Amino acid sequence: MINVKEQIAALLSEHIEGMEAEELEKLIEIPTDTSLGDYAFPCFKLAKLMRKAPNLIASDISGAIASDPMFEKVQPVNAYVNMFMKKGDMALSTLNAVIAKKEKYGSMDQGEGKKVIVEFSSPNIAKPFHIGHIRTTVIGNALANIYSFLGYDVVKINHLGDYGTQFGKMIVAYRHWGSKEEVEANPIKTLLAYYVKFHDEAETHPELEEEARIAFYNLEHGEKEELQLWQWIRDESLKEFSRVYDMLGITFDSYAGESFYSDKMPAVIDELKEKGLLVESRGAQIVDLEKYGMPPAIITKSDGTSIYLTRDLAAAFYRKKTYDFDKCIYVVASQQDLHFQQLFKVIELMGYEWAKDMIHVNFGMVSLADGTLSTRHGRVVFLEDVLNKAVEKTREIITEKGVNTDQLEETAKVVGIGAVVFRELSAGRIKDYVFDWDKVLNFDGETGPYVQYTHARAASVLRNGGFDISKIDMSKLDCSYLTGDAASTLIKGIYAFPEAVAKAADDNEPSTVTRCIIDIAQSFNKFYHDEHIIVDDENERNAKLVLTFVAKQVIANGLSLLGIKAPDRM
């Protein structure tokens, strides 16, 4: 497909001395008001270079490039050169590009030969997989999909929270109040009840905290009883987590959690000592980061036990050695910003330049309408319950509307779960938000069900038109029928999709893709309402059906990157 910005920049460079085409390309804008053209070039930065007022420069450039055959019209407006492309040529180029690549449209090979690790989801064993985990889970999965789409070799890691002092508490709670039968019947909710009870009891029996500390110490030092209990709790928890991942259609390449690195920590600690980075502070071993504006990084506590920074250090070295990554991405809430700043700084101080390849992709927090989530106090909304309720709500809507489908359950699942995932990926990831059932399950407006319905609508049009892309001769397609405002806006949105995917990876921001396919869906629906698609004239019908086919394909590609299915019937 023709890169229009690149083509315009090359043309501009012929008339602007002192600036390379690559530099000019970065200045080219897409006006939000389509009456101002398809592309605009601001001349402010040229004033000093050319020793002339920006509006005069714009006038000169407009006159110099107006005759180029790619333009319908070029006009200067104040300090801008506004360019209107030949719509038929733009349409044909875009349609051919999508048809040639189909489900690969928007993909690139920029990541060829490069490996990216994406660590995401990472729930704590024996604790609820709650609504607070949905952001890391779906953002991480979308980023993994996007990087893979761009040609990177992606390794998806679920760094399970299966170690730490909370396991000492869980072991003590189970010993005091636990039942094997209760746990196996309903693992997470039962273990959560034990965990909450531990904290309630510890308020009046503080000796439980010391008992828990000893239990974790024994676990970390390989005592048989603690180790067996831990392994059983881990296995039972994973059974529960797997149900949620199956519902979301998410898989991982590795479930190596914190415990996997317990025997790899001593080597890291030894290296820190050898390099003179470890100092003692109140019995703990730390790396002093005061000169970098950070509190000390604790490596081992005063009782000799590790913390998760120690385990993350061991994990980072293991991953570099095992995968030799080009990027190691951690999709973890913004609450852990300091932790990752410390982690990356310690690795840098150890002398490893690959510390710069480690990236913390943070995101805003989820809270409940009446306060924050708290596992300790049992204030949670289970993610599985959210997904099941979304499916139930969708089933009710489909039934109420009398939709004729023989796949009610599958459609309810695809649309209901898609609604939850889409909402999580529809706004910038860094924003905090309050979890609200009504908003999550609202299927109106710029939502997942709206985009999915648009895809199904396009599929219906193609079925009704008896369309078969293999029978279309694109060399004879008459794109003059695709030059109206609605069709042109839709084509521009489709053309912009590859750039949106690339930007989503550059910014580690999946909502860039979400925004793009919302725009395409809205543009298609306007095209559908403004134009008669299945008309008598064969040339006009073919052109409009090809555009419908292409719009449907790009919407499906975008939804797939987000981890959402695109139904053909709704």
Helix (H) or strand (E) holding 98: helix 87-101
- 526 part of the active site: no
* 15 catalytic per annotation: no
Tell me which residue has tokens 């196996």. Answer: 184
Query: Annotated catalytic, 130?
Result: yes
The count of other CB atoms within 10 Å of the CB of residue 509 is: 21
Whole-number Å distance between alpha carbons of 235 and 241: 10
Q: How far apart are CA 215 and CA 228, in angstroms?
A: 12
Tell me whether strands 371-372 and 366-368 are parallel, antiparallel or unpaired: antiparallel
For residue 77, the SS3 value is: strand
Q: Give the residue from 133, 121, 127 showing the smallest Cα distance to 233.
A: 127
Catalytic: which of 101, 102, 114, 127? Answer: 127
Which position among 133, 544, 552, 565 bears the catalytic label? 133
Q: Which residues are CB-neighbours of 228 under 8 A, at least 6 positions away?
A: none
Rounded to 10 degrees, what is the CA torsion of 518, 520, 524, 525? 10
How far is Cα 264 from Cα 26, in angstroms, rounded to an integer?
46
Whether 147 contacts 115, CB under 8 Å = no
Catalytic residue among 5, 87, 130, 492: 130
Tokens 């004879």 -> residue: 476
Query: Rounded to an integer, what distance in angstroms lies between the CA atom of residue 543 and that of residue 551?
Result: 12
Q: Outline where 431-508 has alpha helix (H).
A: 437-440, 448-464, 485-507
Residues catalogued as catalytic: 127, 130, 133
